[in-house]
Each structure stands twice: as structure tokens, then as C-alpha cells.
Amino acid sequence: MKYSGNIQKMLTTLNDVVGYQLPIGDTRVDMNALIGQTITLQFDNVINCLACERKIKKSFNQGYCYPCLQKLAQCDTCIIKPELCHYAQGTCREPQWGEQHCLKDHYVYLANSSGIKVGITRGTQIPTRWMDQGATQALPIFKVKDRLTSGLVEVILKDHVNDKTHWQRMLKGPAEPQALTARRDELFKLCADELNILKIQQGEGAITPLDNEAIIDINYPVEQYPEKVKSINFDKTAHVSGLLQGIKGQYLILDSGVLNIRKFGGYYLSLEI
């Protein structure tokens, strides 16, 4: 069986075990069903921008051409660093996009992917954000009025807790279970003064602590984790083949290496089973 087309990041469904579908062309391939089988992925040396679809030689920011990188709000620096949101200054690249995506309720959360980390996400991206990161546990700890506020809260918290996922460690096995609720309560106390100042600055109701949320446990379809994490890059190796041993985050775990599907959004691939 063979599928061909431009790919996008895998779609996820939170079940007892995360369900994965790979969009390739007009098809969504059930990747869970392929675990335990040998698959071949061939990069056909064609890349199309995820936004404007024009053919490009090199992609930026996981699938965009350089002009789109420079003009789209979703590619701006403030997406990576939400505390730098500049919508209120009147300089948002796409004000309507900002209103639809950034001026909405966001959540600050703790997650366990390679240890406890703090992160932020739109309410509509729960639990997708956690599955994309390969988190095995997640806990919302604040609800805030917009993306800027979520970033400002995160800046305060990350003085006390990591804000990065160590992807190699995440792919080597299940994360050791963490007491996220206890860590949340510690952070509430440690950061109380700074958070109170921020609440005054951002206005009444801008920041709501969440102290009754339940931890979300997430399990991934992995039959075998790699002893050594070897990254596969289509820009260096056009032909990839191996036994699919599992999927975690946006990574395919093959016996020949690990492949970050999200990194290659817009690449035209052939998938053969």
C-alpha cells in the first residue's frame, strides 16, 4: 500500500492510548495501525509552503516560505515568546488573526514529558498541545484572559520550573510520574507576590488560579523505546525505512531512528507499507 502527498503534523486523539493520523495529501493515514510493520518514507524533493502553497527550496518555522515567515502573525516572535505580544501597540502583523487566536482564554499548565515543565496554550488546544509535546501528565494551573497574560505568568513561574522539553530524554522511555499538584501548590506560594502584582496590572479577572483541576494522564502507542536517540532528517536522507516501533509527541520511533513529522510540514512524501 502506498500514499503520496504533502504532509502536515499528525492529528491526535486522546484515548486510552493516543490515536495518531498522518495527513498526507488528501488522505489521513491511521499510524497506530502501522506499529509493528516496516514502513518506507521517500522525500520527493518537493516542498510547498503550508500557508501559500507555493513551491520552495527551503522551509522555515516547520513549513513556511520566507515571505510567509516574515508576514504571518503565526510566525512572529511573540508566538514563541508570548510575553512579547504587541497587539495592544497596534503593530500586530494580522490583527484579525490575533483577535481570533491570541485575545482568547489561555491556560498556563504544568506537564511532565522529560520532567516537570511549565507551558501555555489556548483553551482550544487542550489536550492537543500536551500530546504534541509527548507529555505523560498535564495539569492546568491558571486560566488567563489572553496570550500576553499567559506569557507574563509563565515568565514568573519559569524562574522556579523548567519551560523546555528535553526531546531526547522524552523519547527514551515513559517519564517518571511527578506530583504535579504538589508542585503547583509550591509555585502558588513561591510566586504569590509577583503574581499579585501582575493581577493588579492586568485587571480584575485576568488571572484565575486553578486549584481543583485533575491531572490528565496520557499514554502513547510505543512497543519499544530506542536505547540511543538518532534523529532522521529528510534534508540529509531522502529515503527512510524501518520498523515502526511507536509514536510519541510528533515523533515516529523507527528501529532506524526517530523522525519529527512536524518539522517537515509541507514536504511531499511517499509512504509505503
**What sign does the CA torsion over 18, 24, 29, 32 have?**
negative
Would 98 be classed as within a structural domain? no
Q: Could you list the beta-strand ranges (E) of the chain.
A: 2-6, 11-13, 19-24, 27-30, 38-48, 55-56, 106-112, 116-122, 137-144, 207-209, 216-217, 239-248, 251-254, 257-260, 267-272
High-pLDDT (> 90) share of the chain, %: 98
H runs (alpha helix) in 48-88: 66-71, 77-80
pLDDT of residue 197: 97
Residues 189 and 116 in one domain: yes
- Three-state DSSP state, 2: strand
Phi and psi dihedrals of 195, rounded to 5?
A: -70, -35
Residues 116 and 210 in one domain: yes
pLDDT of residue 31: 98
Residues 196 and 228 in one domain: no
Mean pLDDT over the full length of the chain: 96
Residues 202 and 230 in one domain: no
Q: CA torsion angle for 93, 99, 104, 107 (degrees, to 10)? A: -10
Would 130 be classed as within a structural domain? yes
**Which one of 178, 195, 217 terminates a domain?**
217
Residues 149 and 200 in one domain: yes
Residues 206 and 268 in one domain: no
Give mean pLDDT, residues 7-23.
Answer: 98
pLDDT of residue 187: 98
Would 232 be classed as within a structural domain? yes
Range of the domain at 166: 104-217
pTM over 0.85: yes
Q: What is the number of domains present in the chain? A: 2
Residue with grid cell 507574563, as numbered in its chain: 152
Residues 184 and 240 in one domain: no
d(CA 134, CA 171): 8
Query: Which amino acid appears at position 228 of this protein?
Result: K
Give mean pLDDT, residues 9-30.
Answer: 98
pLDDT of residue 71: 97
Residues 213 and 226 in one domain: no
pLDDT of residue 37: 97
d(CA 73, CA 100): 11
pLDDT band at residue 43, thresholds of 50, 70 and 90?
A: very high
Residues 211 and 250 in one domain: no
- Cell numbers of 214, please? 485533575
Residues 203 and 108 in one domain: yes
d(CA 93, CA 101): 13
Would 69 be classed as within a structural domain? no
Residues 189 and 228 in one domain: no
Give mean pLDDT, residues 163-177.
Answer: 93
**Which one of 177, 200, 217 terminates a domain?**
217
pLDDT of residue 137: 98
Give the tens place of pLDDT for each residue, 102-122: 999 999 999 999 999 999 999
Would 166 be classed as within a structural domain? yes
Residues 137 and 43 in one domain: no
Distances in whole angstroms, Cα of residue 176 to Cα of each of 117, 180, 215, 247, 270: 13, 12, 14, 18, 36
- In this structure, of 32-36, 47-51, 202-206, the range with the lowest mean pLDDT score is 202-206
Give the tens place of pLDDT for each residue, 51-95: 999 999 999 999 999 999 999 999 999 999 999 999 999 999 999
Would 93 be classed as within a structural domain? no
